[in-house]
Amino acid sequence: MSEGKNKSSVILVVLLVVLLLTTGGLVYWNLNQRVELNELVEQMTIEKEELENEYEDLAIQFDGYQNMDIRNDSLQDLLSREQQRVQDLLEELRQTKASNARKIAELKKELATVRSVMKDYVRQIDSLNATNARLTAENIQVRQENREVKERNSQLAMANSQLSETVTRASMLEMVSCSVTTLNKNDRKTSLTRNIRKLQFDFVIAKNITCEPGLKDLYARIIDPQGNLLGEDGTRLFAFESGEIPYTLTRQIEYSGDTYEGVCYYAFSEEEKVQKGFYTIDFFCDGNLIGSFPIQIKK
C-alpha cells in the first residue's frame, strides 16, 4: 500500500515537472515571438518611411522637370500624368499600415516602374535639349546678322523720329504766359471768394513762323483744388493723343505766326461753389498741350 502511494507521488511529480517545463517553454516561445514580431514591425515601419522618402524625392524631381521649358506638349502632358501618379501612390503609401507587407511590396514595385518611366522621359528631354542646343548654335550667325540689320534700321528710325519730333516741336504753339482776374456777377474785379462768379484769363502765345497759320481751336481745362474738372458735363470733348478728353471752355483764334495776345472767360454756374486754394489751367491746340499754369484763389 505504501509502495503504491510512493509510485503515484513520483508520477505526479514527474507530470508536474513536465507541465512546468512545457508551460515555461510556451511562455518563452511566446515572448520570443513577440520580440521578433516587434522587431519585424519596427523594420517594416523603417522600410515604409524609407519608401515614403523615395517617393517624395521622386515627386521633387518631377516638379523640377515640370518647371523646365520642355517645348513639347505631348511630353509635358505625360510628365504631368506621371507626376500625379506619384502623388497618388505616395498618398496611398501614407495611408497603408506598416504591418501590411504585401501592400508595401506592391508600392515598392510601382516605385521601380515609375523610376523606369522617368528615366525614359529624362532621355527624351535630354535629346530635345541637345537638338535645341544644336539648332540654336546653327542659328547664331543668322540671328546676329538679323540683329545687326535691326540695329541699323532702329538707328535710322530713331534718327527719322528725332528729326520728325524736332520738326513737330518746332511747329507747335507755345503759350508763354497766362494771368487770371477774378470777377463778380457784374464783371467787376473782386478778391473775395464768396463774390467770385467768373474767371478772366489773359494769355500770350509766342511767335512761331514754322507753325501753319489760320483759324485754330483753343481748348482749356480748369482743375479745382479738389482735382475736379470745372464745367464737365460729359458732352464737351476734344481729340488728344489717341483718344478724347473733356474740356472746360474753348474759343477760336486766328493765328498768323506772330505773337498772339488773347483773353477767355469761365463763368461759374449757380450750383458751383468757388473754393479757396490752387487751381490749374491747361491749354491745348492742334492736339498738343501748349501751356499749363497754376492759379491761386486766396480769400
| Average pLDDT of the segment spanning 241-256 | 93
Give the CATH number of domain 175-297: 2.60.40.10
What pLDDT score does 264 carry? 95
Count of C-beta atoms within a 10 Å radius of residue 36 = 10
Integer Cα distance of 236 and 243 in angstroms: 13
Whole-number Å distance between alpha carbons of 56 and 67: 17
- How far is CA 287 from its chain centroid? 35
Residue 99 CA to residue 44 CA, distance in Å, equals: 6
Tell me, yes or no, if the pTM score tops 0.75: no
Quote the mean pLDDT of the chain: 79
Q: How far apart are CA 232 and CA 245, in angstroms?
A: 10
The residues spanned by each domain of the chain are 2-128, 175-297
| C-alpha cell, 131 | 537638338
253 has a pLDDT exceeding 80: yes
pLDDT at 33: 61
Q: Three-state DSSP class for 259?
A: coil
Query: Edge-to-edge strand order for the sheet containing 175-183?
Result: 175-183, 198-205, 260-267
More confident residue, 51 or 173: 173
pLDDT of residue 37: 54
Residue 151 has pLDDT above 80, yes or no: no
pLDDT band at 207 (very low <50, low <70, confident <90, very high): very high
Place of cell 501751356: 291
β 260-267/198-205 pair status: antiparallel
Residue 159 has what pLDDT? 46
What is the signed CA dihedral for 268, 274, 280, 282, rounded to 10 degrees? -10
- Which carries the bigger pLDDT value, residue 149 or residue 91? 91
**DSSP E strands, the chain:** 175-183, 198-205, 214-223, 237-240, 243-246, 249-255, 260-267, 277-285, 288-297
How many residues appear in the chain? Answer: 299
